Amino acid sequence: MPYEGLIAELSNIVGHDNCLSDPADLIIYGYDNSTMAAVADVVVLPNSTTQIIDIVTIANKYKIPIITKGGSTNTCGATVPTLGGIIIATQKLNKIIRIAPNDRYAIVQPGITNSNLQTALKPFNMFWPPDPGSAKTCTIGGNLACNAAGPSSVKYGVTREHVLGLEFITGDGQLIKAGSCTTKSVVGYDLTRLLIGSEGTLGIITEAILKIHPIPEATYSIKANYKCINIATEVITRLMSQDTIPSALELMDAQSLNLMKKNPNLHIPSTSQALLLINISSSAEHIDSDANKIYQILYNNGNCLDICMATNSYDSDKIWQARKLLSPKLKYIAPNKINEDVVVPVSKLPCLIRFIEKLSVKYNLPIVNFGHAGNGNIHVNILINNKDLKQKQDSKICLQQIFTKVLELNGSISGEHGIGLVKSNYIKHEIGIKTINLNKHIKSVFDPNNLLNPQLFANF
């Protein structure tokens, strides 16, 4: 065993039961929601910041990579240990340190799940806005490291907008505190925001000061069907250019709807080619007028095939059913599907979707588009069978062309999933070599021995 000394030293820090080197355990911690997998040399489950500092010190002694792992729900291979090393699993660092509703912040450890945090905030009538679909499993540490978002980011913004400060450990074991418990502070560089979205490459987050918000008094939902995608996307741009912003604005394209139309419970008109799903959240006093304003835009002078509004949570759930059923359905039809999360300025959505539809015909590949249209963030799902080599090859060409188009439209190749291993080959097309080099310099300051998730930088 190449690292016998290492495992003994790590066991001394976290205890024998929290230091896993059995091959079966290593496999379990070796994959995430990408299609990739690899095994680390050892997995540790620390329960304190001090233990993490000691683990990082040992990693520096052996010059061995460290991969921090939350819920492993990332879809871009950001936690797959292709260079081996130590996996730090944060599941035991799951405490809420303080909830301060009057000052609108909460201090938490990184291993708490998004959903457990929301449950704990509810009695204070508070919530933390980032709402990824994986909320029951993903952790706050993972949300911060991926700058996660979700449907509500159209109104509230993404994780970056809801963090006041962080405590983290650098690659050489220094404990750093950034930010404060206040909503204003201009002291020093904004290291908090630098860490957010850095996919575990700059520091191991051990505590976060999160900005929390009062739960809106009322939420209504609306479902609107259109006979073509152009009308739907025109409605999206109109919605986003006025002052009453929905708290969710999701689009499902014709290919998505074709998969759902056979389900009689979903009531999707046979002629529908695009579906918009909307939430409106407001005070009890303003909800009706806000909802009416949005309803009128969706109704689009009668240019809407079918529209219905729900004013209670039971009916809202029914409205959102189609969206919830779509991802599992796609996974069932095409287990090897490629799922990208490109983003363009909202006004460029029609152009992007038309481009993707043409590619789908040209390469005879089913491509299903849906997602957070209010942010211009579309999940592009290329449904391939990995055993079909031509399909596999064509999907790569398609992907490259989609990324090129997205950049031409002033967009970005990842709206929320991040780069990880999956997209590391494409990053140079978006940020260019000078910016990549600056990123590398920044990393070397935070992590002089290149130990924190080094596999993610290997292809740059």
Ligand X SMILES: Cc1cc2nc3c(=O)[nH]c(=O)nc-3n(C[C@H](O)[C@H](O)[C@H](O)COP(=O)(O)OP(=O)(O)OC[C@H]3O[C@@H](n4cnc5c(N)ncnc54)[C@H](O)[C@@H]3O)c2cc1C
Residues in contact with ligand X by CB under 6 A are 32-33, 67-75, 78-79, 90, 110, 132-134, 138-139, 141-143, 145-146, 148-150, 199-200, 204-205, 416-417, 453
Minimum CB distance to ligand X, residue 388 (Å) = 25
Q: Which is nearer to ligand X, 223 or 323 (CB)?
A: 323
344 closest CA partner among 188, 236, 220 = 236
Minimum CB distance to ligand X, residue 130 (Å) = 8
- Closest-approach residue to ligand X (CB): 142
Minimum CB distance to ligand X, residue 14 (Å) = 16
146 closest CA partner among 74, 202, 71, 209 = 74
Instruction: Summarize the chain as % helix, strand, coil (round to 5).
Output: 40, 20, 40
- Cβ neighbours of residue 398 under 8 Å, at least 6 residues apart? 359, 363, 365, 367, 382
State how beta strands 66-69 and 86-89 pair.
parallel
Q: Which is nearer to ligand X, 67 or 334 (CB)?
A: 67
Q: Which is nearer to ligand X, 71 or 85 (CB)?
A: 71
The helix (run of H) or strand (run of E) holding residue 4 is helix 4-14
Q: Which is nearer to ligand X, 47 or 75 (CB)?
A: 75
Distance CA 33, CA 79 (A): 9
Where on the phi/psi map is residue 304: left (φ > 0), alpha (ψ -120 to 50), or beta? beta
Q: Which is nearer to ligand X, 133 or 269 (CB)?
A: 133
DSSP assignment string, 80-102: --TT--EEEE-TT---EEEEETT
Cβ neighbours of 178 (radius 10 Å)? 22
Q: Which is nearer to ligand X, 124 or 320 (CB)?
A: 320
171 closest CA partner among 84, 69, 53 = 53
Residue 377 CA to its chain's centroid (Å): 11
Q: Which is nearer to ligand X, 58 or 205 (CB)?
A: 205
Q: What's the farthest any 2 CA atoms get from each other in the chain?
A: 73
Minimum CB distance to ligand X, residue 261 (Å) = 23
Minimum CB distance to ligand X, residue 236 (Å) = 18
452 closest CA partner among 199, 282, 256, 213 = 199
453 closest CA partner among 146, 49, 161, 143 = 146
Minimum CB distance to ligand X, residue 215 (Å) = 19
Minimum CB distance to ligand X, residue 269 (Å) = 27
Give the tokens for residue 304. Answer: 């809407």
Q: Which is nearer to ligand X, 79 or 219 (CB)?
A: 79
Minimum CB distance to ligand X, residue 32 (Å) = 5
